[in-house]
Amino acid sequence: MTTEIQTETTEAQTTRGKVYVIDRGRTKLRAGQGLLTGLEVVFRHFRDALTRKLEKPSQQTGVFTVQYPEERLKLPEAFRNFPILLYDDETGQELCTSCFQCQRICPPQVIHMTQARDPATGKPVPAVAEFLIEYDACMSCGLCAEVCPFDAIKMDHEFEYSTDVHGGLTLNKEALNRPISYYEKIAPTFWAEVKDSAMKKLQGNMKRRPDLIGVAPQMVEKIRAQRAAAAAQAPSPTPATPEAAPADKAARLAAARARAAEKAAEATPEPAPDSAPIDKAARLAAIRAANAAKKAEGAADEVAAPATDSAPTDKAARLAAIRAANAAKKAAAEGAPAAGSADFASTPSDAAPAADAAPPASGMPADKAARLAAIRAADAAKKAAAEGAAPASDAAPPASGMPADKAARLAAIRAANAAKKAAAQRDGSEE
């Protein structure tokens, strides 16, 4: 009673490797032999299931049951259930800037948030005040995590949310917050991909967040204690207090940015014939200078400069221009507490010098643009220094023969100087 199996094996090379097709042909079974074979197979399964678990897919026998609450399958990294918010482990800063992208894209509209505002000025800051997600209606599509530019919202692996309280499934920010280390643990490769950019963006955002705004609620106490300890240890530097926001800091900032702009300009392979990036860099410098001036002049509330250093130059330039314009507009709207800014606050055309500066410069040759920017920056600085400070004159040297990048640097430096002076004057006048 032997089984005669005509075995014929064909081999095929496919994109997925070698494939063996075994043609067993017609098996010739005597009566009852198939039944016995079946019994044997079942007994093998029975025997192996007593002793071992099914671990590899290649294994044919063994218990495959996962005793769920005690044993769990390892979830794949891409597994997604409900969104969570991330915050930095050390500083406690949340990554979310309340940009509303996720709220906008959410198909079942279960994400709700409010932007944080500076309690002193009422101005919005890039942080989220409250964040709600209705988990009971969430469809786990993961679009919020896809769209988030700051990698602040991510999809969690946690799935045991069953409850008899429906309302308990609407989670607030505190419940949604997870440290970055948690996400790194559940999705290491995904986080490694975005880690650098996310942290850099966070660094930038942190600078625009006053006090403890933007710190995860569960970390507030800890961070406060840390800061108090730090203040006690080193009282002399006293950084980051908004009142102090001294001119020299602004100046340093401006200088740093100018350096960055220069670097960007240098980075372009052929500076001389291809003038576009260079003049852009120049424009940028001008705008920044204007900003710095404005700040120094006494908006006196916040460190508003965005962390655009890493952005590509042209984008950064445009962004800087827009921000400068905004800043100017705002300054105008607030009625310009600084005495000397009355004239450009009253007339809109004058009120946005930096904004004007950018568009016309586009067509000009590089050096001209640079010069123009410098001049405008100087003007702004001058204006800001309402006392009519003389040093503004040295802010606009012709510098026609210089290469574009140099011009830009020069403009930046001059602008910075002007700003510094203006600040010093103002400080002096206030005192």
Partner 1 sequence: MTDILRSWIGGALPDWLIVLIAYLLVTTIVLFYAVGNFIMMVWAERRVVARMQDRLGPNRVGPAGLLQPIADAVKMFTKEDIVPRNADRWVHLLAPIVALAPVAMMLAVIPWGRGWEPVDLNVALLYMVAVSAVSGVGLMMAGWGSNNKFALLGAMRAVAQLVSYEIPAVTALLTVVILAGGMSLLELPYMQAGVPIMGATILCGDPAGCSPLLYSTITSFPGSPNEPVQALDLGLGWWVFTPVGFLGFLVFFIAALAEGERTPFDIPEADSEIVAGYMTEYSGMKFATFYIAQYILNFALSALAATAFLGGWQGPGVAALANMGGPWVHVAAALSAFYLLAKIWILFFVMIWLRGAFPRLRVDQLMDFAWKLLLPLALVNIVSASLMVGLTQWTSAQWGGLISLDGFAPWQRQLIAVLVTAIINIAAAYWILAINQRPKQVEWDEEELIAAS
- Residue 53 Cβ, how far from partner 1 at the closest point, in Å? 10
- Residue 72 Cβ, how far from partner 1 at the closest point, in Å? 16
Q: Is 73 in the site for partner 1 (CB under 8 A)?
A: no
Contact mark string toward partner 1, 109..148, x via CB under 8 A: ----------------------------------------
Candidate residues 49, 141, 322, 402; the one interacting with partner 1 per rule CB under 8 A? 49
Candidate residues 19, 22, 39, 333; the one interacting with partner 1 per rule CB under 8 A? 39
Best CA proximity match to 373, nearest among 407, 331, 343: 407
d(CA 395, CA 412): 9
Candidate residues 21, 50, 165, 244; the one interacting with partner 1 per rule CB under 8 A? 50
Name all contacts of 358-363 with Cβ < 8 Å and 24+ positions apart: 358/283, 358/286, 358/287, 358/317, 358/318, 358/321, 361/279, 361/282, 361/283, 361/286, 362/279, 362/283
Indicate the residue type of 4: E
Q: Is 62 in the site for partner 1 (CB under 8 A)?
A: yes
Q: Is 163 in the site for partner 1 (CB under 8 A)?
A: no
Q: How many Cα atoms occupy the beta-carbon half-sphere of 24 within 13 Å?
A: 6
- Residue 14 Cβ, how far from partner 1 at the closest point, in Å? 30
Q: Is 54 in the site for partner 1 (CB under 8 A)?
A: yes
Q: Which is nearer to partner 1, 66 or 228 (CB)?
A: 66
Q: Which is nearer to partner 1, 54 or 304 (CB)?
A: 54
* Structure-token pair, residue 354: 């930096």
Beta carbons within 10 angstroms of residue 32's beta carbon: 9
Q: Which is nearer to partner 1, 31 or 73 (CB)?
A: 31
Beta carbons within 10 angstroms of residue 37's beta carbon: 13
Candidate residues 27, 46, 174, 267; the one interacting with partner 1 per rule CB under 8 A? 46
Q: Is 161 in the site for partner 1 (CB under 8 A)?
A: no
Candidate residues 5, 41, 228, 234; the one interacting with partner 1 per rule CB under 8 A? 41
- Residue 70 Cβ, how far from partner 1 at the closest point, in Å? 11
Q: Which is nearer to partner 1, 43 or 427 (CB)?
A: 43
Q: Is 67 in the site for partner 1 (CB under 8 A)?
A: yes
Best CA proximity match to 243, nearest among 203, 303, 292: 303
Q: Is 55 in the site for partner 1 (CB under 8 A)?
A: no
Q: Which is nearer to partner 1, 64 or 161 (CB)?
A: 64
| Stretch near partner 1 under the rule CB under 8 A, chosen from 63-71, 241-249, 297-305, 317-325 | 63-71
Task: Give, for 206, the enclosing helix (H) or strand (E).
Answer: helix 188-207
Is the separation of the CB atoms in 271 and 397 below 8 Å?
Answer: no
Exposed / middle / buried, residue 139 (Cβ in 10 Å: 0-12, 13-18, 19+): exposed
- Residue 74 Cβ, how far from partner 1 at the closest point, in Å? 20
* Region 18-37 residues binding partner 1, contact defined as CB under 8 A: 30-32, 35
Candidate residues 3, 6, 27, 65; the one interacting with partner 1 per rule CB under 8 A? 65
* Structure-token pair, residue 86: 């991330």
Q: Is 3 in the site for partner 1 (CB under 8 A)?
A: no
Candidate residues 25, 38, 149, 168; the one interacting with partner 1 per rule CB under 8 A? 38
**12 - beta bridge partners?**
19
Candidate residues 19, 28, 43, 360; the one interacting with partner 1 per rule CB under 8 A? 43
Beta carbons within 10 angstroms of residue 346's beta carbon: 11
Task: Give, for 20, the enclosing helix (H) or strand (E).
Answer: strand 17-23
Contacts of 67 (CB under 8 A, 6+ apart): none
Task: Give, for 357, the enclosing helix (H) or strand (E).
Answer: helix 353-361
Give the residues lining the site for partner 1 (CB under 8 A).
30-32, 35, 38-39, 41-43, 45-46, 49-50, 54, 61-65, 67
